[in-house]
Homo-oligomer: A and B are copies of this chain.
Amino acid sequence: MGREMDVELTNMCMVCDGTRVLVQNRRKPGWPGVTFPGGHIEPGESITASVIREVKEETGLTIEHPRLCGIKTWGEADRMAEIAFLYKAEVFSGELQSSEEGEVFWAERDSLPSMRLASGMEETFRVFFEDTLSELYYSRKDRDTPAGEWCYEDWEYTLQ
């Protein structure tokens, strides 16, 4: 091996129940609004295991057989800064319970666009919903300016 990059690894999962999806209204000050549950991959766990753990922690539900449906990536000039692994799950058990991260509730998929979405979720939904898309890639608009306070407006995206 060799040629490592410093990368932040996260996951996000769309839990589906027919036409409804499980959303989370995040309280996080830096990134508030409606999103899907998810979080960081911990050292020593597989990506799949991290998705199952995060959904359990944030929704109370135990999902089975989550499937990778795409990635959301943040490319700096010299490295891939973050990779979010996007999963879908249709099999689950347990009782819905919100965490301190934010309230979770079922919503009709068609109602998502009218909600107060977290930044970037509108384009993220497209990777979840459109089979022909695999990656939402963000690159910094001005690559010469050193990164300051992290802000969505400093990035532009392409869907691939």
Residues in B neighbouring A81, C-beta threshold 8 A? 1
- The answer for the CA separation of A71 and B2 in the assembled complex, in Å, is 19
- Are A70 and B73 interface neighbours, CB within 8 A? no
- Are B47 and A73 interface neighbours, CB within 8 A? yes
Residues in B neighbouring A141, C-beta threshold 8 A? none
Q: Is A27 an interface residue (CB 8 A)?
A: no
- Are A48 and B134 interface neighbours, CB within 8 A? yes
- Binding-face segment, A3-11, A53-61, A114-122: A3-11
Of the candidates A3, A6, A77, A131, the one having the most CB atoms from chain B within 10 angstroms of its own CB is A3
Closest partner residue, chain B, to A133 (CB atom): B67
Would you give the shortest CB distance from A148 to chain B, in whole angstroms? 12
- Are B65 and A132 interface neighbours, CB within 8 A? yes
Q: Is A43 an interface residue (CB 8 A)?
A: yes
Of the candidates A40, A73, A76, A132, the one having the most CB atoms from chain B within 10 angstroms of its own CB is A73
- Are A67 and B7 interface neighbours, CB within 8 A? no
Of the candidates A70, A135, A150, the one having the most CB atoms from chain B within 10 angstroms of its own CB is A135
Q: Is A80 an interface residue (CB 8 A)?
A: yes
A contact residues vs B (CB 8 Å cutoff): 1-9, 40-41, 43-49, 65-68, 70-71, 73, 75-83, 85, 87, 131-132, 134-135, 137, 139, 150, 158, 160
Known: A44-B77, A67-B132. 4 other contacts (CB 8 A): A43-B76, A47-B83, A47-B135, A48-B137
Top 6 nearest A-B pairs by Cβ distance? A46-B137, A68-B134, A48-B160, A4-B6, A7-B7, A43-B78
